[in-house]
Amino acid sequence: MESASGPERSAGRPSGVLIDGNFLAAERKKQGYSQESFCEEFGLSRKVIKDAESNPHKRIQPRTLFTIASALGIKPRDLTLEFSAPRLLTTSEEILKTNLEIVGAASKFLCATGSRSRDGEYLDAIEQRVTENPSLAYFRILFGTPLTPQMVQHLRRIIDIRDGNEEPRQTISIGVYASVRTYPLEATICLNERMALFVLPSIHGAWRYDTAVVFEEPAVIEGWHRWIEEMYRAGKPISSTAEITKLEREYR
């Protein structure tokens, strides 16, 4: 069965990042490159560079943006025209509201990490979304930390939804990455194709989960989406309720 697909064009939003073609051309020339020599030295497409420089508001894929910026020795942000500033959230209520927005707006993919969530409203919203949209690619990455009862029930229901899904490809993927020697115990992310939320250490005190940062930069979203898919491939896939029961015993 084919695994969940990567980022695709999202409905209602043009694909790619808006690049500043005029700045690209000026920076290239300042460093002594012609279009031909620049593309040849760094393995870039001549057509992509030509189109970007002739159209000051050209959109390119985030990965291409990073490659061009690296070749020029500048930050990707310097080449773009539409990056928005990250938003800091400082209450659990803001985090829940934003997570619900991310879940409700997901149309192509929804990725989440962590096993400690106790918020039934958030987990229920995910189950409802994947039920309403069977083609939605949902990734859940666990890090081998104690599973909450709410998360266990969520995983069981998600498996049931997947088993009843008639989609020709696998759209729900659950994995556990438990190698604490090579990665921290917990990294909490929730993202769709337009927005990503990352939980930070609380600014209000220890053992609280009320601080997060929200990004809408396409390059950040694509990077974290790819990171979650890589973590899934590096870990152990969970495909049955029996495996969830085993996890529950191991990580309670």
Query: How high is the pLDDT of residue 251?
Result: 73
The model's pLDDT over 6-59, given as tens digits with 9 standing for 90+, comes to: 433 344 445 677 888 888 999 999 999 999 999 999 999 999 999 999 986 788
DSSP string, 78-107: GGBS-PPPPEEE-SHHHHHHHHHHHHHH-S
Model's pTM, two decimal places?
Answer: 0.69
Q: Which amino acid does the sequence have at 124?
A: D
Domain 87-250, second-level architecture: 2-Layer Sandwich (3.30)
Query: Tokens 């438990």 correspond to what residue?
Result: 178
Cβ-based neighbour number of residue 51 at 10 Å: 15
Average pLDDT, the chain: 86
Query: How high is the pLDDT of residue 178?
Result: 67
Q: Cα separation of 174 and 127, whole Å?
A: 13
87, β-bridge pairs:
214
Query: How high is the pLDDT of residue 73?
Result: 92
Q: Please give the average per-residue pLDDT across 151-159, as a whole number.
A: 95
- Per-residue pLDDT band for 194 (boundaries 50, 70, 90) equals confident
- What backbone phi and psi angles, to 5 degrees, belong to 120? -60, -35
Q: Please enumerate in sequence order all residues whose Cβ is within 8 A of that of 177, keeping only pairs 6 or more positions apart, or say none.
A: 141, 142, 143, 144, 183, 231, 232, 234, 235, 236
Dihedral angle sign, alpha carbons of residues 203, 200, 66, 182: positive
Q: Which of these, 110, 116, 131, lies nearest to 229 by C-alpha position?
A: 110
- What backbone phi and psi angles, to 5 degrees, belong to 192? -125, -165
- What backbone phi and psi angles, to 5 degrees, belong to 76? -55, -35
Q: Cα separation of 87 and 90, whole Å?
A: 10
Domain ranges, ordered by start, for the chain: 20-79, 87-250
Task: Strands of 43-91 (E only): list them.
Answer: 59-60, 87-89
The model's pLDDT over 62-111, given as tens digits with 9 standing for 90+, comes to: 888 889 999 999 888 788 876 667 899 999 999 999 999 999 999 899 99
According to CATH, the topology of domain 20-79 is 434 Repressor (Amino-terminal Domain) (1.10.260)
Whether the CB-CB separation of 127 and 154 falls below 8 Å is answered with yes
Tokens of 234: 């590096």
